[in-house]
Amino acid sequence: MTANLSEASLSDTHVPRISEAQAQSVALKYYGLKAVARELTGERDRNFHLKAPQGEYVLKISSALEDPATTAFQNAMLRHLEGAGTDVPIPRLIPTVEGADEALIGAEGVRHIVRLVTYLNGTPLSHWPASHAIRVQVAQISARMVLALEDFSSPYIDTDMLWNIARADRIQPLLSAVEDRAVREVSEAVFARFDDVVAPTLAALPTQFIHNDLNLHNLIVGDGGLISGVIDFGDAVKSHSVCDLATAAAYQLFDVDDPIAALSEMVAAFHAIRPLTEAEIELIFDLVRARWAITVGIAHWRARRHPANGVYIMRNAPRSITALMAVAELSPSDVADKLKTACQRSAA
């Protein structure tokens, strides 16, 4: 873990204090929109849903500590995906009245980066029950985004991103905030295996930029149960392709009777679009478990530091704990064999 982790990570900062009235003024001044603003939830940004005669949008106001290179990188990724011809439904970046990707505003004596994207209608996937159809769609979206981003390049590298599975070793010290001994020990075992077995193999795999956060709150479901939107590129990072699938799968294995069968469905659906190597398949189960352990560590650590925002911070932790405990005794090699069989069937 890098020194001063708690000081370096933006996920440990408060979102900017901007009112709905102020958001409406920003929308009018910088985007020419006479809109009605409604605040949305967010971890690092202050987000507002805007309704205007021209349409619906999301106004994103970043923390004053946000590195301008971070938002510029996210803007570039959105522009790349928009021009890549992929059918993945993503927000469209809207320029300011002056044609810029973002604006700067002053609030509370500091400067904030402001961006506007189109609003994607639908219901967050968190309100939908788990199903085979949803799992397949999520895996397919992950595969298509991975393919679309293969040729995306950027000099931006976020060394402080806590949610990068490839750097799971940085999270283990945060488990000191977990009071339940059994949960802490299972999570520690996941990290120990990651260090000894997973990390050396993962390090040999090629890297690219990935969305890295296809969770239940970042996927929107529209009419007919079809996923109509992928939002929030705030955790995008240069990592390994398979980590995007593992992250997406971690959230789809909640509340299912047979998590390995469900994982097999997703791996097969991903593999049918973007073929997985044998080395990648052998790591998937461990990467999913690592994502759960990362969620447990970060959530408890941050909730202890910011109890007023504890409900939002801890929203995924209980189910991550349940999932971790449910598969604690499974053999990773046996699971890998099942995933390989699923991939072979999908290719037949």
Identify the DSSP state of 47.
Answer: E
For 96-110, the pLDDT digits (tens) are 999 999 999 987 678
Q: Taking a C-beta distance cutoff of 8 angstroms, is the pair 253, 177 a contact?
A: no
The predicted structure's pLDDT at residue 17: 82
Q: What is the mean pLDDT of residues 56-60?
A: 97
For 283-317, the pLDDT digits (tens) are 999 999 999 999 999 999 999 988 888 888 888 89
Give me the CATH code for the 123-347 domain, please: 3.90.1200.10
Measured CA to CA, the distance from residue 239 to residue 290 in angstroms comes to: 14
Q: So what CATH class is 16-118?
A: alpha beta
Q: How confident is the model at residue 50 (pLDDT cuts 50, 70, 90)?
A: very high
Measured CA to CA, the distance from residue 58 to residue 49 in angstroms comes to: 5
- Whole-prediction pTM: 0.91
Q: Could you tell me where in the chain the CATH 3.90.1200.10 domains are found?
A: 123-347
Measured CA to CA, the distance from residue 305 to residue 239 in angstroms comes to: 28
Measured CA to CA, the distance from residue 239 to residue 157 in angstroms comes to: 10
Measured CA to CA, the distance from residue 118 to residue 86 in angstroms comes to: 17
Q: What is the mean pLDDT of residues 41-64?
A: 90
Query: Is the pLDDT higher at 3 or at 131?
Result: 131
Q: Could you tell me where in the chain the CATH 3.30.200.20 domains are found?
A: 16-118
Measured CA to CA, the distance from residue 18 to residue 304 in angstroms comes to: 24
Q: What is the mean pLDDT of residues 32-37?
A: 97
For 172-210, the pLDDT digits (tens) are 999 999 999 999 999 999 999 999 999 999 999 999 999
Q: How confident is the model at residue 87 (pLDDT cuts 50, 70, 90)?
A: confident
For 314-325, the pLDDT digits (tens) are 888 999 999 999
Instruction: Specify the length of the chain in residues.
Output: 348
